[in-house]
Amino acid sequence: MAFRKPPDGGWGWVIVVVSFFTQFLCYGSPLAVGVLYLEWLDAFGEGKGKTAWVGSLANGIGLLASPVCSICVSSFGARPVAIFSGFMVAGGLMMSSFAPNIYFLYVSYGIVVGLGCGLLYTATVTITCQYFDKRRGLALGLISTGSSVGLFIYAALQRELIELYGLDGCLLIVGALSLNILACGSLMRPLESSSSSPPEKTCVDKVPDQYFVYHEKEKTVEENISILEKGYIDEKCVNNVPDCKQESILNKNVLSSININEKDTYKKKVVEQTNFCKQLAKRKWQLYLTYWKETMVLFKNKVFSALFVAILLFDIGGFPPSLLMEDVARSANISEDDYYMPLISIIGIMTTVGKLILGILADFKWVNTLYLYVTTLLMTGVALFAIPFAKSYLTLAMLSGILGFLTGNWSIFPYVTTKTVGIEKLTHAYGILMFFAGLGNSLGPPIVGWFYDWTQEYNTAFYFSGFCVLLGGFLLLLAALPCWNACTNQSSKLPPNTYSYKVASNA
């Protein structure tokens, strides 16, 4: 399918609006799952580690399945995938209201909702990139705030719905709200050329139809000829009985000649088909070998290897606060009268602010984006170490705001990746890093919950989380120091407009 030149406006702004609301509606509940986490603890009486798997799966499964999501959007288009995923998210949320146990939630909320969110994220990013070129960074920056705003609003909304209608009613209402994704998805009109010609046939499509007749067993040719011969002779015998014998002998000779030619053609086509299949299999195998060779080359880059470890450890240690902070406040026996705003809402709004400010800082020429990213990691580790010492709502609110702001470093992560591996390998490298980020999202909350089940307090758990993030930050800093000559694979080109901000300095 041939696409027109991105209009950088027009219907593209409609795409931005519906993509913003799509991420708002699909990510609102999974990111604010900490409110539901408290209710599931009371409803099912399971351990904190086992219960934390629900939220971690919902947020991590989409990243883990990112290659599958990309294939689906490439094969079917953004609009069909968005509509189908809207049913998945809404259905998963509504099914969760009938969950008889925690294991049912693993599937309904963790896998179904999580996979639907991953598909919707890929669809919104893909359709936005098709409509924007020069303003692509602005467009992607706007739609990326949808998830953060959703976290801010859904944290308070779900808490209020639980008080009014209970946990089951809350999930039903939130699921019904998610059905609005269908309306948003229907507006994601693909950017197709009105004068585009039909797509050119592939090599397999160009093979004549007669070629595929010979996929059946060999006797098919003889059977068809016998039927043709019999029908032709019977017709002649009915019309002209005296000439029946003569015509029968003549037709047998002619059809025998056709039979020989058809057999030769059959053998020739079988040889052609066999060679074609061998070449196709060989080409696919070479593509797989090339993919793994490129992957191994990436890991020879010290900075990329350190970045892979850093993103994994950051998500293991940095993601749990957004899920468990509400339970931390309850464990600290904070009075309801002092509870002015859900801590998760504070994390959500500060994440939006962090994305914008850190992205603006990356535009300054004197700012090194890699060192800026390392700074956010180290500060996150320090903030996690401070959580066990927070015994009041005000202190926890301040730490929640700091953690939310630092989590906004996702806005500069694509540029760090670009400056590490070069623009040519960005897609390959970013996909690998996002897979391990999803793995960290999935493992982090259960690990912290298990620490609580083991020690019956959160202090050890957040010491562990802070250590993980600090370790990842120090490893990345060590690999990025000029004395290690680690940044030899950098590219002088600017990163593509696919991402929200431009890198202003070399990593």
User: pLDDT by residue (tens digit) across 59-72?
Assistant: 888 888 877 787 78
Gap between the Cα atoms of 341 and 334, Å rounded: 13
Report CA-CA distances (Å) from 127 to 74, 80, 83, 251.
Answer: 11, 12, 13, 62
Summarize pLDDT for 207-241 with one digit per residue, the tens. Answer: 444 434 434 444 444 444 454 445 444 544 545 54
pLDDT of residue 69: 80
Nearest to 421 by CA among 290, 293, 292, 298: 298
How much is the pLDDT for 474? 92
- Asked, for residue 210, whether it belongs to a domain, the answer is no
Residue 464 maps to a domain: yes
Within 13 Å of residue 345, how many CA atoms lie on the same side as its CB? 12
Q: What is the pLDDT of residue 96?
A: 93
Note the pLDDT of residue 402. Answer: 92
Contact 135, 19 (CB under 8 A): no
Give the pLDDT score at 67: 72
Q: Which residues contact 300 (CB under 8 A, 6 or more apart)?
A: none
pLDDT of residue 421: 75
pLDDT confidence of residue 228:
44
Give the pLDDT score at 161: 93
The residue to which tokens 């993030």 are assigned: 469
Residue 58 resides in a domain: yes
Residues 8 and 140 in one domain: yes
- Residues contacting 327, CB < 8 A, separation 6+: 34, 37, 38, 41, 48
pLDDT of residue 499: 33
**Rounded-to-integer distance, Cα 340 and Cα 159, Å:** 13
Domain membership flag for residue 246: no
Q: Does one domain contain both 5 and 139?
A: yes
In a domain, 148, yes or no: yes
Task: Check whether residue 343 and residue 473 sit in a common domain.
Answer: yes
Cite the DSSP H helix spans in 332-458.
343-361, 369-386, 393-407, 413-421, 426-455
Same domain, 162 and 309: no
Residues 61 and 183 in one domain: yes
**pTM (global) more than 0.75:** no
Ranges under pLDDT 50 in the chain: 1-2, 194-225, 227-229, 231-233, 235-236, 238, 241-242, 245, 486-507
**CATH code at 380?**
1.20.1250.20
Residue 246 has what pLDDT? 53
| Residues 9 and 136 both lie in one domain | yes
Tokens in use for 471? 């370790």
Q: Select from 12, 84, 60, 489 the least CA-distant residue to 316.
A: 60
CB-CB contact of 381 with 399 (8 Å): no
In Å, what is the CA distance from 160 to each residue of 24, 36, 153, 225? Answer: 18, 11, 11, 78
**306 shares a domain with 169:** no
| 106 close to 442: Cβ distance less than 8 angstroms | no
Residues 7 and 123 occupy one common structural domain: yes
Tell me: do 359 and 475 sit in the same domain: yes
Sign for the pseudo-dihedral over CA of 87, 89, 92, 97 = negative
The tally of domains found in the chain comes to: 2
Q: Does residue 223 lie in a domain region?
A: no
Residues 316 and 180 in one domain: no
Q: Is the residue at 230 inside a domain? A: no
Tell me the residue length of the chain: 507
Does residue 456 come out as left (phi exceeding 0), alpha (psi in the -120 to 50 range) or beta?
A: left
CA dist list (Å): 419 to 305, 315, 476, 502:
14, 21, 14, 11
Residues 175 and 50 both lie in one domain: yes
- Host domain of residue 394: 301-484
pLDDT of the residue at 197: 46
HSE (side-chain half, CA atoms, 13 Å) at 104: 12
The answer to whether residue 296 is domain-embedded is no
